[in-house]
Amino acid sequence: MSAQPERPPRTTMQDPAAMRVHPELRAAFESLPRFSDPYEDIEGTRAGFHAMLAAVPADRTGVDSERFEIPRADGSALTVEVYRPEGGAGSGGGEGAAPGPDARTAAHGAGGALPAVLHFHGGGFALGRSLPGQDRAAIALCRELPAVVITVEYRLAPEHRYPAGVEDCYLALEWAAEQAGGLGIDPARIALAGKSAGGGLSAAVALMARDRGGPAIVHQSLCVPDLDDRVGAEEGADGEGADVGGADVGGADVGGADVEGADVEGADAERADAGGELGARVTTGRSVQRSWKHYLPEGTAAAEAYAAAARATDLAGLPPAYVLVCDLDPMRDAGLAYARRLMDAGVPVTVRNVPGAWHGFELFAPETRVAKEMTAHWTGQLRAALYPVAG
């Protein structure tokens, strides 16, 4: 019997699924690394992420920031950082200080109060926290909108499972509204924003504010949001342990790359052979399931609405929303379904899909037109919500 000729190895872009990648993103896709399961050593994963951020300090030109401690009911404290245009409202109070009397003088708008953005970082509910004063997403929004941007160092899973993180985010919203005068914030222009897990937290906090009669929210910006614990459930049940999981990292720029919402999931060679290069290199349903497994309380069969906003049965009365999804993201369909349900409930919604892009693609392709247009679109929508044109 004659020997069969050895088959040449198949290149990444010969994979049929990988061919769906946008042409401008193919080089970046080819360079995607494979990481190990971040939950195997979550402290090591966080340390590595922070080391990466520290290697390239943020450009804070034109922006000041202060850190505040908000007391929780149990006596512990939630840390938030407030970013403002340089020399603007409330600068100079020092860590833990209450907003000062000069806070009513804003850096923009001839002394008027600025709008505010509560920014919740991504990271699979488990990592993604920026270094103090180094949240690139917050700095960019502060400059470009302009706005007071409040980043929230919510408690992280798996050490602190739901509802710890989302309750921290809601506490920060209440604090921002109560301290609006001292922080130089216009309380009628407070928005929520986040990517990935941060987008899911934004949607959940909007639900909480409606249900609890909390602070008014003018806009919710949900970028590639992690909204539904059912995403990838079939994949997770079919191959538990085969996927090495994923989590998103947020709020940073490394060498010019915005890593807000960028994926740190991994895949081993066995999974690459079984699922193709697309499944080996980018976020999959199984990695989404792994994130939810570490966020929800052990034994949870179905998430509550404040954990997974897609579980909410009534979406009426929520603030106007922006929903951005990526074509190759397993969370795309859940995001689009949520947007449609918001529309059906009478909520104004703007939807944007990035064709041929995967979850967190902008980390690896920050200078591409696709990445720049995506960022410009969601930033522009947030600006329009905070600075509406008078009728």
Q: Which residues are catalytic?
A: 196, 329, 359
User: Which tokens sit at 66?
Assistant: 């202060």
Whether residue 5 is preceded by a cis peptide bond, meaning omega within 30 degrees of 0, is no
C-alpha of 21 from chain center: 22
Q: Do residues 36 and 244 make contact, with C-beta atoms less than 8 angstroms apart?
A: yes
Q: What DSSP letter does each residue of 249-318 carry, written as one string?
A: E-S-EETTEE-TTEE-----HHHHHHHHHHHHHS--HHHHHHHHHHHSPTT-SS--TTT-GGG-S--TTP
Q: Do residues 236 and 246 make contact, with C-beta atoms less than 8 angstroms apart?
A: no
Strand partners, 192: 118, 220
Select from 176, 46, 74, 197 the least CA-distant residue to 118: 176
Q: What is the DSSP letter of 241?
A: T
In whole angstroms, what is the distance from residue 59 CA to residue 288 CA?
Answer: 32
Label the pairing between strands 114-120 and 148-152: parallel
Amino acid identity, position 329? D
Select from 143, 165, 192, 186 the least CA-distant residue to 322: 192
CB-count burial class (<10 Å; 0-12, 13-18, 19+) for 118: buried
Select from 295, 300, 307 the least CA-distant residue to 208: 307
| Helix (H), strand (E) at residue 138 | helix 136-144
